[in-house]
Structure 1
Amino acid sequence: MNLLYRYKVHHILFWIAYAFFWITFSMKMNHMPLGNAILSISFWIMGQGACVYLGMYWIVPRYFHPRNYWKFALAIMLDILVCTSFIAGIHFTIFTRIPHSFFSYVLMANTYAAFGAIAVKIIKDKVVADRRNNQAEKHQMQHELRFLRAQMNPHFLFNAINSIYVLIRKDPETAAQTLAKFSDMMRYQLYECNTEVIPIEKEIAYLNDYIALEKLRKGNAVQINYEVKESVKDFSIAPLLLIAFVENAFKYLSTGPENYIHILLEQQNNTFAFRIENSKDEMPAQQEAGGIGQINVKRRLELLYPHQHKLKIYDSPKKYIVLLSIQLA
C-alpha cells in the first residue's frame, strides 16, 4: 500500500476510471463515435489534470502554506482560466458541434475539481503536519522524562550512600542489612522503573525500604508516622513520583528536640492522595525547602498527568506540607 501511494498509482487508476465513465457517457448520451469520445475526454483530462495538479502540488505549497492568500487566490483563478481555455480551445478547433456555453460548462467543472482537490490537499497536509507535530512533542516529552529521571537517580544515590556510610561507622551489622535494602531499591530503579507506569504496591514497597533506611540512620531523632490505607491498591502510577517528596522531608527535617514526619497515602473515589508533613527549621527568605528532585517531579507531573493532578505545597517557618492528588484513569 505504501508503494502504491508513493508512486501515485491510485491517481492513475482514478483517471482511468474517470475517463472510462465519461467516454461511455459521451457515447450513450451524446451519441459520439468512440474515436471522438476518446479524443474529447483525453484533452479534457489533460486540461483538468493540469489544473488540479498545479493547484495541489505547486500553488498550495508555494502560496497557501506560507499564507500568501492573495497570491494564492490569483494563482488559482489563473490556473483554472488557462486550463479551461486549453480544453475549450481544443474542442472548438477539432469539433464542429460545440455549443457556445461549453466554455462556461468547462469553467464550472474545472472550478469544482480544482477547489475540491485543493481542499483535500490542504486537509491532508494539516493532518500530516499535526501527526508529525504530535510525534515530535511525544518524543520530546519522552526524552525530557528520561532526562528528569536520570537527574533523580544521582540525587537518591548521594543520600542513600551517605546514610550507609554513617551506619558503617556506628553499627556494621545494621549497615549490612541496610545495604541489602539499598540493593533492592537500586534493582527497582534500574530494572523495574523503565516502564511508563508501575503497580502502586511496588512503589509503596520502595517507599517502605527508603523510610526503613532513614529510620536506621536517624534512630530516635525523628518521630515518623507512616500510614498506607488499605484502599491504596490495584492501580498503577508513574514510578518514582513520591520519593522526591519523602527525600525532601528527611533532608530539611528540623534539628530540634521534637522532629516529626507524617506520611499518608489513601485512595477515594478513583483519586489517589498523598500527604506528607515534616517539621523544619526557619530558613532565610531566599532559600526554599526543596531541591532538584522536587523540581523534577513537578515537571514530570505536568508531563504525565496534565489536568489530572493537583499539587499544593505549604511552606511555613516551622513545617512543610505537600498535598498531591492524582485522578486515576
Structure 2
Amino acid sequence: MKIVIATPLYPPEVGGPAYYAFNLEQALVAQGVKVRVISYRFERKLPPGLRHILFFLRSLTVVPGSDGIIVLDTFSVGLPAGLAALIFRTPIIVRVGGDFLWEQYVARRQEATTLSSFYLAPRFFTIKEKIIFKLTKIFLHWATVIVFSTKWQADIWQQPYNISPAKIKYIENFYGHKKNTSPRPYPQDFILVWAGRDIFLKNLTLLQEAFALAQVEQPALKLQIVTNVRQAELFQVLDKASALILPSLSDISPNIVLEGLMFNLPMIVTKEMGLKDRLQDTVLYIDSLDISDIKEKILLLASRAGYEQGAKAAANFSFTHSYEAIAEEFINLFSKL
C-alpha cells in the first residue's frame, strides 16, 4: 500500500500536526506501508492563494500512483492536496483536528465565542471567512472519509457542512503510556502550568486575571506560562509542574491534556472540550467564560484535599491509544474503500 500524508507542519517545525504526521508516518512504515509526506516549505511565507496553488502543483508530483491520501487539515493543505487527489481519483481521508474558520473568526473579533455555539447563530463573516467556509464545505464533499477524533466535533460540524453520516469515522488522538506510575504527592511549592499558543481562543488573559484573584487568598501560588517550545522541553516542564490548566474557550482534543495525563498531572480544563466522554471525572472542569469559576477551581486544586483527589484521578486514568493502533485504523479504512 502507498499512502501520501499531506500536513501543514512537519518536524523540525513544532506543533500538533507536525508530531502527528511524523509519528503516523513511522507507524505506517513499520506496518509495511510506503509513505510520502508533503508539507509546506517555502510556500509558508507566501500569501494565501499563491501558497495554495504552489502546494497543489507539488501535490501533483506525489499523488499519482498512491492508494490514498491522508490530509491533516481541511483548508491550508486540504484544499490543494485534495484537488490533486480528486484529479487522479485517489481516495481522500481527511482528519479534522481543529476548526480553522472558528479560530479565524474569534481571533479577528476578539470575541469569546465557543465552538459549540459558533454555528448556531448567524455570523458576520468577512469575504475571506466566507471563502474559507465555502471551500471547506467543497473539500469535505470531495473527501471519501472524514475522520474526527471526537464525536463532539462531528456533531458540531455535521449540519453546517452538510456532511453525510456515512462519511464520518472516528480515530481517537494519541494517548501515551504513563511517565509516572503513582499519584503525585502534594507539592511544597504549587506551580500551575499553562502551555500552548498565545492566541485569543486560549483565554490566557482571563486566566491571568483569575490567577491574580486566587493569589490574593494564596500568595504563594505560581503560574508558569509556556509557549513555542519543542515537545522534549515541554515534557521537562510537565515533569516539574504541580498541575496543568487549559481554560480555552473551546478545545477539541488537546494534546497538552493528554501529555499532562502521561505525567499524572492534576488538571483544570474547559468544559467546552471534545474529550469529556473519555476523561469523565479525571479532571476538574471550568466554565472558561466565568472568572470566578476559574479562580475557585485553582484554589480547590491548590488545597491539599483537592490536589490529592486530582492526583489520584490522573494516576488512575489508564487508557492508551498508540500510533501503531492509529496507523492500523487508517489502513483498515483504506482497505474498505
Normalized against structure 1, the TM-score is what?
0.21
- Higher RCO, Cα 8 Å, sep 6+: 2
Structure with the greater alpha carbon radius of gyration: 1
